[in-house]
Structure 1
Amino acid sequence: MRLALAHLGRQESLPRLLKILVPLVHQAREEGALALLLPELVLGRQGEEDLPQALEALAGESRMRVVAGYLAQGPRNRLGVFPQGPFYDKVHPFLALGEEGDEGVEPGEGPVVWEFQGRRFGLALCYDLDFPELFRSYALMGVEAFLVGSAWPGEYGELLLVLARARAAENQAYLLLANRADTGSPSFAVAPDGHLLGLKDEEGLLLFDLDFAFLEAYRTRYPILRHRRPEAYRL
């Protein structure tokens, strides 16, 4: 299954976003991708009530799934799959002292699984990567790949790679992360064994083929989830 992610910066308005996004969606479709992952808060922290409708229309017209991060009513930091959902609200708002974060944002209620083409994808946003419990919950729900929208600060770029590779490897799942280019951190994909499949630090598209036959064989050879002993370490 071929998926694409877009490494692009925060846009100041919906028309400006669509001017950049429409060609990317069509390029991804022409290159065989079935879905395109966008970063967290593609319009920054400003709300834009017309954004979901615009993405719904673009996804429908292009016959392409578009997964995008934006500020929804609540307010909530949301990652939505267009057209028709599902929609994930960030479970762990970033509230670090002294840094711009998710102040005033309501936390989401829990994990959201997107079922697509017979596969199960777990949705997450940025700071969620610091919480392995969320990703393990997804793995126990049968998720095979994580889609993460992000606006991760460049000064912590090394930490981002460490966390993403750990979340993929410990759950034996693919992880695709689309980061906002204006933050200084890259966008990339990680394989179920933790190795980096590819990385992009300039604006544009990155495409990946997810090999689910490899995933199934790898999980059979190293059945980490079956070897868990939750009775020995209650949290």
Structure 2
Amino acid sequence: MALLVAATPAGLAPDTCSAAAAKMDLPANQTQLVSPTTDPLFVLLGVGVQNYTCSASTLTYTSTGVVASLFDILCLDTTPAFAAIQTLGFDVWKALPASFTADDLGAKIGPPLLLGFHYFVTSPSGTGLSPKWDFTSTGKFAGNSSAFVLGAKVGDITAPADPAVNIDWLALNNAEGSLASKIFRIDTVNGQPPTSCVAGSADISVKYTAKYFLY
């Protein structure tokens, strides 16, 4: 993922870049995802896998969560690379061997571009799972036990391009943690499972990338 480093303007560390120009490009004529009026706190590229298991009753795959590394792309928002960073990133990610995990990628790139990790944990209610964006173990937030957010989905639209391949765009509100109050997943690339499965099939992981805006 050297493109993250190469595409970042020379001499600019993530902390020096303004979020004032960072805007989400959302589809018109929909109300599920609405841009906040404030600037984002973080603009991230998520690189990882969507995990699925085969439902014996429906013979379709159901989601069991996600594992992704989260990279700071705020400094790219005024560059030509920003619009396509999720596609460029996916092309590199797809070409890597299956044995090279999202965690390996995060460790390879490291801080300051690596801000954290994205995965699922038990929901605050104790039932079900919640997505977590976790900055507690790396970069400038390392050791800060409150640098995370659990999300509760409040909006969902199919990907505007190739929704059979690309996972949905989402809006989520804070369910726990102090990292952000709202989370958006947009500009998704890949991540959808096959449309059917055979009972007893092994669980699968499908590579994906996406932009995450945290407010």
Higher relative contact order (CA closer than 8 Å, sequence separation 6+): 2
Structure with bigger strand share is 2
Structure with bigger helix share is 1
